[in-house]
Amino acid sequence: MRGGGVRIVLTGAQLTLLLVWLPRWVGTSGLTLERLPTAVGAACLLGAVAGFARSARRSDRQSGRQPGPLSSGAYGPVGFAVLVVLLTAWPVLPSPPVRVAVPLLALVAAITAAGHAELHGEALRQRGRLTGAGVLVVLGLGGLLGFGADAALSSAATPPVGWALLLALASAVTWARPAVPVVLVGVLAVPPLVLGGQAMAAGTTWSAYGKVTERTSLANVTSAVHNGVRLPDMREAREVARDEPARLAAFDLVPGGHPRRVLVLGAGIGNETAFALGRGAEHVDAVEVDPALVRLAGNRHPDHPYADSRVTVHLADPRAYLDRATGRYDLVLVTAAVGRDVLPGTGTPGSSYALTTEAFGQARRLLAPGGTVAVEYDQAAVSSGGGGESRSGRAGRQGSTDSPAARRIATTLAAAFDRPACRVGPADGGRVILAVVGARSATRTCVPLTAEAASAAGTPFTDSGAPLTDDRPALSRHGQPWSGQTAGALALLVVAAAAALGWSRRGTRRSRPAGPDRIVSTDRLTGAALVGSGAAVWVAGLVVTGWAAVRVGPGWPIRSGVPALVLGVSVAVVLLGATVSARRHRPARRDRPVTADPARTATQTAAHLAAGLLLGSCLGYGVPVYGTAAALGTVASLLIAAGVAAAWVRRRTTRRPGGEPNPVRHPRRDIPADRAAWPPTRPTSSSPEPTRGPAPPSPARRPGP
């Protein structure tokens, strides 16, 4: 594998890095918009479809003129530079409405991905001796390389400038011209320079879980911003107890207000741990997954809670720790940071596997007799970005008990503990505490969330639906897989991808010969098989990612390792199928009619594969609501449809319309000169028939002994 094969590997690696890292980085840029990472990821896939389709459209219309520096895919690095500058300056710019900001950033991301895909289309057109199956395998190997690079950068807590440098280097290496233009070099240098300056800013720390920015006020009070969300100020526990006693309401639910053993899930910068120590706790287990927050608390918190001998810090995912913990606690406190988590794969914000019925069942197992489980939920922080939580924000202004998310957490607690949950907090849509109290407390009143209590208080009571489970953990969706606005946007993306694929096919019918030698076209059937296979792989990857995240946690090993595993299995299946087909001497999917353009076929294959991934991402958006059974049914249906299409491809490439065998030849084999040219020419009436002389005599055999 030389030349074109190496460039195809770089193609798969760069596009994988772009599709994996760009939506995640957008989520750390300070924009707390719920649909933004999902919209950017889907827009990148749509851009890849459009870029490969444009490359396929241009493959049979090449001229001797060299393209300019801003054509032939060079607009991809330009779009990436614009996106980096725009997101870096976004906090100081006037904030546009959500309905303007999300489409704008998604459009820029689509242009970025389209340019990179078209830039790499040149590598696919120069694929050398690789067949269609070989192109898929080599692209898959490049994808594995991209996932490996993403995992290495994440594990080393590299700032975004590391990804920007790799993307710029890959664009320069795969540039098809003899030399990279000076203008393009300047454009490629913009993102690393801007992100490098951001990484060196004072008070900014990066980890595998995002960006932490430290801020100090004029009163010498330190606060932090984690992935664009402002965290509470780091103050002494006694000052908070004096000025803001409501922040210690969870400890008042324990009899006497002084729990001896406390478990804090999502400990963050250490405020809740300091509160527990201030209430006289003998031992505190603080669980936090982001080491950057733990380091910040150790350096800047005035009480230094993590340095206390009574505190044990666990760098682990809250759900993974619950499954393996063996201690007994008087209070299990789930902080508001857990309610701001994002489900892996689908990018569903405001949801966590630590808020499901199974997780609360593990918390119940860890409770001491008379113990309490309390869940803090900050409705204002979750609903500030709009999207799916906007309804809870409007309801929260009428009363936080009307919040669909808060009611659903209460329903989940009741299902796990077999008794109603109660609520503590002001009815202003802010931070509330939903708890199951083991013993009656005289320090704090906890209002039961039942129909009888609501009727006695004269307030309406609304059913919140089914409780959250590991199979259906989407809290912010309120039981709906797609809202009307989201469904319309996803449908528009799929229609746009189909239009791009159809546009890339224009002109192919006119180039096929007519008459009895006409070979039946299989492009549409092959494209349908690729689209179905790509969608099935994406949905299956979401199922496996969710299963692994429940047991290990949604960290960078799951975020990069599980998709790489699914991709590796898919590459192995393609390679095995091509090998078996070749050994049986049957026309494999890589074999094409001799009238097919190899360059166009390779780019169209990549376009259909990207369209399948886009369809899978749109279908997978409903997996956290419909559950694993529905997802596996979708995967089976897609694979069956792809198999039927592949079977028709085999049948139609081996038979003519009249039922006679179709002379399918591999492009690398010997082809008559009058059929090897692309595009093939139609015979005209004025063209004279070629004269054929008598057949040459066969050579005489030498007599044997």
Strand partners, 212: 205, 226
Q: State residue 302's pLDDT score.
A: 92
- Look at residues 44, 24, 116 and name the one whose alpha carbon lies nearest to residue 497: 44
674-701 per-position pLDDT tens digit: 444 444 444 555 555 555 555 555 555 5
* Tokens representing residue 614 in the block: 């886009």
**Amino acid making up residue 364:** R
Bridging pattern class, strands 229-230 and 222-226: antiparallel
DSSP state of 243: H
Tell me the pLDDT of the chain averaged across its residues: 78
Number of H helices, E strands in the chain: 24, 12
222-226 β-sheet, strand order: 204-207, 210-216, 222-226, 229-230
Query: How many CA atoms are closer than 13 Å to the CA of 414, on its beta-carbon side?
Result: 19
Asked whether 671 and 594 are in contact (CB, 8 A), the reply is yes
Q: Report the C-alpha gap between 391 and 556 in whole angstroms.
A: 31
CATH of domain 4-203+486-506+518-654: 1.20.1250
Nearest partner of 312 among 299, 301, 327, judged by Cα: 327
Per 3-state DSSP, the chain is made up of helix, strand and coil in percentages (nearest 5) of 55, 10, 35
What pLDDT is attached to residue 537? 92
Residues 574 and 136 sit within 8 Å (Cβ to Cβ): yes
Bridge partners (DSSP) listed for residue 331:
262, 372
Of residues 505 and 458, more confidence is placed in: 505
The answer to whether residue 510 scores a pLDDT higher than 50 is no
Q: Using an 8 Å Cβ cutoff, are 548 and 344 in contact?
A: no
CA distance 315 to 391: 34
Question: Which of helix, strand or coil describes residue 660?
Answer: coil
Whether residue 406 contacts residue 392, with contact meaning beta carbons closer than 8 Å, is answered with: yes
Sort 426 into a burial class: Cβ within 10 Å, 0-12 / 13-18 / 19+.
exposed
Nearest-10 Cα torsion for 174, 135, 666, 512: -70
Domain locations in the chain as residue ranges = 4-203+486-506+518-654, 236-336+357-457
Counting beta carbons within 10 angstroms of the beta carbon of residue 445, is it exposed (0 to 12), middle (13 to 18) or buried (19 or more)? exposed
- Residue 89 confidence (pLDDT): 82
pLDDT over 50 at 380, yes or no = yes
DSSP single-letter state for residue 655: B
Q: Cα–Cα distance between 399 and 426 in angstroms, integer?
A: 8
Radius of gyration over alpha carbons of the chain, in Å? 30
pLDDT tens digits along 73-85: 788 889 999 999 9
Alpha carbon 614 to its chain's center: 11
Averaged pLDDT, 95-101: 75
325 token code pair: 């913990």
Burial environment of residue 225 by CB neighbours within 10 A (0 to 12, 13 to 18, 19 or more): middle
pLDDT at 443: 58
Q: How far apart are CA 314 and CA 518, in angstroms?
A: 69
| Least-confidence region, from 46-50, 298-302, 360-364, 459-463 | 459-463
Q: What is the pLDDT of residue 455?
A: 65
Residue range 236-336+357-457 forms a domain whose CATH class is: alpha beta
- Give every strand in the sheet of 329-334, ordered side by side: 311-315, 283-288, 261-265, 329-334, 367-378, 431-436, 422-424, 447-448
How many Å apart are CA 374 and CA 423, to the nearest integer? 9
Mean pLDDT along residues 174-191: 78
pTM: 0.82
339 to each of 151, 342, 343, 346, how far by Cα in Å?
25, 9, 11, 16
Q: What angle separates helix 598-620 from helix 98-125, to the nearest 10 degrees?
A: 150
CA angle 203, 206, 208 (to 5 degrees): 160
In the predicted model, is pLDDT for residue 305 greater than 60?
yes
Convert the pLDDT of each residue in 615-658 to its tens digit.
999 898 888 888 889 899 989 998 888 888 777 766 655 544 44
Which tens digits make up the pLDDT trace of 115-129?
888 888 877 776 656
> Quick one: pLDDT at residue 678?
45
